[in-house]
Amino acid sequence: MSKEKGDNYWRDKLSPEEFQVCREAGTERPFSGEYWDLFEDGSYRCRCCGEVLFESESKFDAGCGWPSFDAEARQGVVEERVDNTLGMQRTEIVCANCGCHLGHVFPDGPTETGLRYCVNSLSVKFDPDQGEET
């Protein structure tokens, strides 16, 4: 899939809520997404293109109300961008394959990576099959 797909393409593929988060960089309310408290084995794929972005082994409860991970599934599947909205500087994370807005990454994670990838449930789909496909 291409990052150049237009709004009409994505509106046909996504619900209005998914479109607002994935394509317009929205944020779902904390503790409202379907995956914030899911801790089963599997992979988290981009809701737009299906790319494996995070694995369950890297998921932890950050207490923030969004799915949180300490590492991406493979280096380079998540792209970082500067986000200066809301009067602060943050680091936005998007799917490197299709540009889907995922959330933000913060340098306050509790594991050895020191990272907390804070992800909207609407941006990903959980695949209960263990690990990513080879």
Per the annotation, binding residues for Zn(2+) are 46, 49, 95, 98
CB atoms within 10 A of CB 2: 9
How deeply is 7 buried, as exposed, middle or buried, from its count of CB atoms within 10 A (0-12, 13-18, 19+)? Answer: exposed
CB atoms within 10 A of CB 79: 15
Rounded CA-CA distance 111/86 in Å is: 28
Rounded CA-CA distance 23/45 in Å is: 16
Q: Give the annotated binding-site residues.
A: 46, 49, 95, 98
Q: Which residues contact 4 (CB under 8 A, 6 or more apart)?
A: none
Which residue in 22, 48, 100, 118 is the catalytic one? 118
118 an active-site residue?
yes
Catalytic residues: 118
